[in-house]
Amino acid sequence: MKGEWIDYEGPRGKLNGYLVSPDPAYTSSSLPGVIVVQEVWGVDEHIKDVTERIAAAGYVALAPDLYSLGGARPPELEPHRIEAVKAFMESLPPSAWMDQEQRDKALDKLPADQRSLVQTSLAMLFGQARDTEGWVNDLTGAVRFLRAHDRVRGARIGAFGFCMGGGLTALLACTENSLSAAGIFYGSSPSADQAAALVCPTIGFYGEEDQRITEGVPAFAKTVAEHGGHFEGYIYPGAPHSFFNDTRSSYRVDAARHAWAELLRFFGQNLSGELFPPSGTTQVGSQSTTA
């Protein structure tokens, strides 16, 4: 396996990305490409690890750094600053993540210099830096970069992402006609109008306890089905948001293992053209959503 940081040109300018591909000595033809879409924390060690995992399954994988437009991150989003925000958020109960008042009370307990740094980066990550439309455009550039890559040329392209990146992947799957498969890990569902335009087979993985995200899945599945699209959704009983991230306390090994196996099966069918028998509707615990 070979992993490296690269620069590439997107529709809005230069971006960085972490590119991983199997050793050419072990492949005799073009490989499918896969875009791995970051969580809010950026292309951190977890996302790099996942990118390496999917590449090891036989894909050329690229994780675009969506914070690097222009070729570099702003100071507030440098990795060490994001790690400080991550540590702060992990110290909070899950109920405080989306509660401004609880977050502010916790921030007030930090030393003044640390509070200022965390507060500034926190505001960027969860507000000022958010650019959903621009990021989807950046991801279309990543798709085009992989499509033209020497190891991929002529092969199919897929994408999957987590949390913020799961929602972006869903939007990409509704707009990028050259995408052949998409995977959503606990990302927000597109609107009905967007879902009606889904362009490729899509699979989603959600935690039962993550109600803010998961409650939108049935309507998404229904809209896709009504417009002739393909969506498979799995809701894992007892699983919280970010159950796949093995660097966080939210990690749930049973749900993560099943989700990864299903993602590989799904990509095998839709990107590699492998003749695996379809699994059909799968009941996961007490809930499953398939359209």
**Using one digit for the tens of pLDDT, what is the confidence trace for 62-79?**
999 999 999 999 999 999
Residue 186 β-bridge partners: none
pLDDT of residue 96: 80
Q: How many domains does the chain have?
A: 2
Amino acid at 3: G
How is the chain split among helix, strand and coil, in percent rounded to 5?
A: 40, 20, 40
pLDDT of residue 274: 58
**Using one digit for the tens of pLDDT, what is the confidence trace for 227-252?**
999 999 999 999 999 999 999 989 99
What average pLDDT does range 165-171 have in this prediction?
98
pLDDT score of 289 more than 50: no
pLDDT score of 160 more than 90: yes
Beta strand pairing call for 181-185 and 157-162: parallel
What average pLDDT does range 200-217 have in this prediction?
97
What average pLDDT does range 167-177 have in this prediction?
97
Q: Which residues contact 156 (CB under 8 A, 6 or more apart)?
A: 32, 33, 180, 181, 270, 271, 272, 273
- Together in a domain, 262 and 205: yes
The residue range of the domain holding 105 is: 75-128
The answer to whether the beta carbons of residues 180 and 157 sit under 8 Å apart is yes
Residue with tokens 């007490």: 286
- Together in a domain, 29 and 51: yes
Kindly provide the b/e burial profile for residues 150-162, where b requires at least 16 CB atoms within 10 angstroms of the residue's own CB: ebbeebbbbbbbb
- Together in a domain, 86 and 107: yes
CATH of residue 29: 3.40.50.1820
- Together in a domain, 81 and 161: no
Dihedral sign, Cα of residue 126, residue 127, residue 129, residue 130: positive
The answer to whether the beta carbons of residues 145 and 19 sit under 8 Å apart is no
- Together in a domain, 118 and 201: no
- Please give the helix or strand (H or E) that residue 15 lies within, else none: strand 13-21
pLDDT score of 27 more than 90: no
pLDDT of residue 132: 95
- Together in a domain, 63 and 21: yes
The answer to whether the beta carbons of residues 17 and 44 sit under 8 Å apart is no
- Together in a domain, 59 and 175: yes
pLDDT of residue 290: 47
- Together in a domain, 98 and 142: no
Look at the pTM and tell me if it is higher than 0.75.
yes
- Together in a domain, 143 and 252: yes
- Together in a domain, 138 and 123: no
**Using one digit for the tens of pLDDT, what is the confidence trace for 193-205?**
999 999 999 999 9
pLDDT score of 282 more than 70: no
pLDDT score of 50 more than 50: yes
- Together in a domain, 96 and 136: no
Reading phi first (left if > 0) and then psi (alpha if -120 to 50, else beta), residue 257 is in: alpha
Nearest residue to 206 (alpha-carbon basis) of 193, 192, 223, 218: 218
Provide the angle, in degrees to the nearest 10, between the axes of the packed helices 112-123 and 79-90: 100
pLDDT of residue 149: 94
- Together in a domain, 226 and 275: yes
